Amino acid sequence: MFAMKTRHVVGGLCLLAVPFLAAAAGGAHEHGVARLSLVQEGTTITLGFESPLDSLVGFEHAPRTDAQKQALQKARAALENAATAVTLPAAAACVVSAVTVDMPFGDTAHDGHDDHDTHADAEAEYVFECAQPAALDTVTIGLFQAFPRLQRIDAEAATAAGQGKAVLRPAQATWSLPAAR
Amino acid sequence: MRLPLWHLTLASIRNRGLATVLTLVAIALSVTLLLGVERLRNDARSSFANTLSGTDLIVGARSGAVQLLLYSVFHIGDATHDVSWSRIDALRSHKDVAWLVPVSLGDSHRGFRVVGTTADFFAHVQTGDRQPLRFAAGQAFDGVFDAVVGAEVAASLGYAPGAKIVLSHGAGEFAAAEHGDKPFTVTGVLARTGTPVDRSVLVGLAAIEAIHLDWQGGSRIPGVEIPAQFVGKFDLSPKRVTAALIGLERRSTVFRVQREINTSDGEPLLAILPGVTLDELWRVVGVVERVLLAVSAFVVAVGLAGLVATLVSSLSARRRELAILRALGAGPGDVFVLLMTESVLLAVAGCALGVMLLWALSAGIAPWLMAEHGVQLVARFVDQSELVWLAGVIAAALLASVIPAWRAYRYSLADGMTVRM
């Protein structure tokens, strides 16, 4: 019967899955794919976003033209705007308490050498204080609108209700957190 | 006066007993399969999800995340590498780590896995919704040759505290690989959890070292035999373990600690969030689940096709009957409705029979599924999502019955009383 081999089927499948799942845990640099983490500790929600620079602005070297400098500034501004980057449910009554954005090639105009063969990542961290953390069932990601090159976000959560993973895409930018399941 | 249509329907179904019963059975079996696949999928998921809670990270040798989760928690598959004890010890004193439970696998007892660990296992490992492990009898292991057995081990082998058991090297296929010179005493039996813990024999890490003192590379060192009473003279501190479960002081550090471990130099380690990795697993298994579901949906389609075939083939035999109905005053519409009612009634009856069959089947295999695979099949009649599936089956039946009903409608327009059979 179909029931009998469940465990073996699951086990066998996992071995097949190993090569491409290994990358997820290691933190590989894959263009078009960003990573998002969410941690809830009491009333504090911390979201960490990390993306290859290419997925945000289309290049991964120090800006050479004015257009590229502007693109970097625009990307930084989009990441710094927590209200549009991530939307938490109104019922959770969250307010932004800190936003940190770390962009490569951001502040100094030119640091002397272009990195052609290394990758560059942009990072952002959003800290929210939520009066009703139990009402936090979904997170809607607005970053797909700001960055059309971004095709996928691998999102991982650790909340009081448990841990979970979701893959977000432009057409499916709302993340159901483990609590909501 | 209108004809009592439902009465005619019942009478005409009864008139073709065997064909009807066979069609009914086909539909019932296909519905059982469809709902069974769906139910098994849901229950397997919740069983897996309930296996471990309260553990923030699992650390093992660097391999695949899913692989690490499967061998360390679900005892499926084997580790490719061990982790040296010095690394585990260093992690234990990491400032963000609240507790660490090492796990050492590789031995077995009559088909059940032996898990070498520390007494912290009983304090920190939780299942379901943060349920701690409880002892049904006895207490945790204390001496080197003490063992705690899971509920399933105790039930199927009839163990109670005080029983003497012998562990085997590896999966236990060869009697020669038995650690017969160093028997263990059962000190405790754990309460049933519905997780792989039920099928585990838990011993201290020192015990794992002790039974392998006179072993090397999977077999006994010839001529060397260290009696159990002398093992205390040897260094029984663990050298290597398979994996470790970690609880953190603060959950907010989980991704940072994970990254720290995954990018650390030296011996390559992998840290995973068990809940995250389980979701990764479901994403992969989801493909197969959808295939299974599609196959069972096709089986339902085959069942319904059988229903249509039975009705259509019966039609030519019923042309005179339909003509008589017409002569008695039934309109072509009535004939159409008669046939529709017949097939939908069969579909509904098939669904009902299928649900009952599923209930009986799941009640029958639930204990075995629990014992063999740790999947808890929750006994229930139908839930909301299953009702949606059933409604779908009946809707499909309604759609399919248009074919025989339409044919009957056409016949009833064309045929007179003088149909040649």
How are beta strands A33-41 and A152-159 bridged, if at all?
parallel
Give yes or no: residues B102 and B174 share one domain.
yes
Tell which of B214, B249, B272 closes a domain.
B272
Chosen for mutation from A156, A159, A169 (greatest number of chain B CBs closer than 10 Å) is A156
In chain A, domain spans: 32-180
Residues of A in contact with B33 (CB under 8 A): 2
The reported pLDDT for the residue numbered B91 is 92
Give yes or no: residues B248 and B353 share one domain.
no
Do A21 and B36 make contact, defined as CB atoms within 8 angstroms? no
Residue B289's alpha-carbon distances to B99, B227, B275, B301, B339, in angstroms, are 37, 52, 20, 18, 36
Q: Is A37 an 8 Å CB contact of chain B?
A: yes
Q: How many domains does chain B have?
A: 2
Q: Is A23 an 8 Å CB contact of chain B?
A: no
In a domain, B35, yes or no: yes
Measured in angstroms, the CA of B410 and the nearest CA of chain A are apart by 43
Measured in angstroms, the CA of A35 and the nearest CA of chain B are apart by 12
Residues of A in contact with B36 (CB under 8 A): 2-3
Give yes or no: residues B242 and B140 share one domain.
yes
Give yes or no: residues B85 and B116 share one domain.
yes
In a domain, B278, yes or no: no
Q: Per-residue pLDDT averaged across B180-188, rounded?
A: 86
Do B280 and A27 make contact, defined as CB atoms within 8 angstroms? no
Chosen for mutation from A14, A97, A167 (greatest number of chain B CBs closer than 10 Å) is A14
In a domain, B367, yes or no: yes
Do B77 and A17 make contact, defined as CB atoms within 8 angstroms? no
Residues 6+ apart with CB under 8 A from B216: none
What pTM does this model have? Answer: 0.77
| Residue B247 scores a pLDDT above 90 | yes
Nearest neighbour of B252 by CB, restricted to A9, A13, A39: A39
Amino acid at position B280, single letter: E
Give yes or no: residues B92 and B149 share one domain.
yes
State the burial class of residue B33 (Cβ atoms within 10 Å of its Cβ: 0-12, 13-18, 19+).
buried
| Residue A115 scores a pLDDT above 70 | no
Give yes or no: residues B121 and B244 share one domain.
yes
Do B65 and A178 make contact, defined as CB atoms within 8 angstroms? no
Give yes or no: residues B253 and B314 share one domain.
no
Give yes or no: residues B39 and B121 share one domain.
no
Give yes or no: residues B182 and B290 share one domain.
no
Give yes or no: residues B215 and B89 share one domain.
yes
CA dihedral of B186, B189, B193, B195, whole degrees rounded to 10: 10
- What is the ipTM, given to two decimal places? 0.76
Q: What would the DSSP string read from start to end of B317-374?
A: HTHHHHHHHHHTT--HHHHHHHHHHHHHHHHHHHHHHHHHHHHHHHHHHHHHHHHHH-
Q: Per-residue pLDDT averaged across B402-413, rounded?
A: 82
Do A14 and B76 make contact, defined as CB atoms within 8 angstroms? yes
Nearest neighbour of B276 by CB, restricted to A26, A46, A156: A156
The reported pLDDT for the residue numbered B418 is 57
In a domain, B115, yes or no: yes
Q: How far is it, in rounded angstroms, from Cα A39 to Cα B232? A: 46
Nearest neighbour of A37 by CB, restricted to B250, B255, B292: B255
| Confidence band for A23, pLDDT divided at 50, 70 and 90 | very low
pLDDT tens, position by position, B352-402: 999 999 998 888 888 787 777 767 777 777 888 888 989 998 998 888 888
pLDDT tens, position by position, B32-68: 999 988 888 888 888 888 888 889 999 999 988 999 9
Do A13 and B67 make contact, defined as CB atoms within 8 angstroms? no
pLDDT tens, position by position, B105-133: 988 888 888 999 999 999 999 888 788 89
What are the beta bridge partners of residue B148? B188, B202
pLDDT tens, position by position, B316-351: 777 777 777 777 877 778 888 888 888 888 889 999
Domain that holds residue B108: 57-272
In a domain, B134, yes or no: yes
B-facing residues of A in 111-150 (CB < 8 A) are none
In a domain, B277, yes or no: no
Residues of A in contact with B262 (CB under 8 A): 25-27
Give yes or no: residues B296 and B313 share one domain.
yes
In a domain, B111, yes or no: yes
Give yes or no: residues B108 and B193 share one domain.
yes
